[in-house]
Structure 1
């Protein structure tokens, strides 16, 4: 998925990624495992049109996982959804449009990556 980052929100996007890797890591990992997500990568890319957030997700059933993220009433999922909407200015309720799996290109700055594989950090 690729969405523009709202003007003036790039540093907030970086802090969001840091929060996932830090203070909210345990809750984040538990949520992703519950959803069947095996890997998630969040990146930043600068384009001629401004900054964009790139999200790549691997899951057993990507459509179901995205649907649960977008409709869950669990506190972490609500926080995640609301933060994404604030930073990107996009309501991602149309999760069925987000089921393609983009790859990161060399011009993207990887800010966060998680995988459920044993031995990963």
Structure 2
């Protein structure tokens, strides 16, 4: 399954808002989030926070049949949740999905999977 990983610095003054929103996607808003990701072809997604000397960093991992297509759907959907999600990205990260990216999507350097394990005695 194709995967994409993206990292964004979280402005310290937006950290609590970011954390509350991300938590709600797995909690109070999980049905909306699940419906949105299903529409967009996402199979699995994880969001991590990495606390660095430069401040918090979001690390997002997403598995989808076609990650570039999925990002395009997130950028253009007029579903209320998706519109609100884009507003959240703009507010927290200054990320405007309606504009072409300023850089190419992340380049995958290694994609390793453990070989099948043989059950022990």
Q: TM-score category by the smaller chain?
A: 0.7 to 0.9
Where 2:13 maps in the other structure, the secondary structure is coil
- State whether residues 39 and 59 of structure 1, in contact with CA within 8 Å, keep that contact through their aligned partners in structure 2: yes
**Larger Rg belongs to:** 2
* 2:68 corresponds to: 63
Q: 1:52 to 1:70 in 2, by over 3 A?
A: same
Q: How many residues are aligned here?
A: 103
> TM-score under structure 1 normalisation?
0.74
Q: Which moved more, 1:47-56 or 1:35-44?
A: 47-56
Aligned Cα root-mean-square deviation (Å): 2.3
Where 1:45 maps in the other structure, the secondary structure is strand
Gaps of 5+ in 1: 104-121
* 1:98 corresponds to: 105
1:50 is aligned to 2:55: yes
Write the mapping of 1:1-121 to structure 2, written as runs, cut at 5 A: 1-93=6-98, 94=100, 97-98=104-105, 100=107
Greater RCO structure (CA 8 Å; 6+ sep): 1
> TM-score under structure 2 normalisation?
0.74
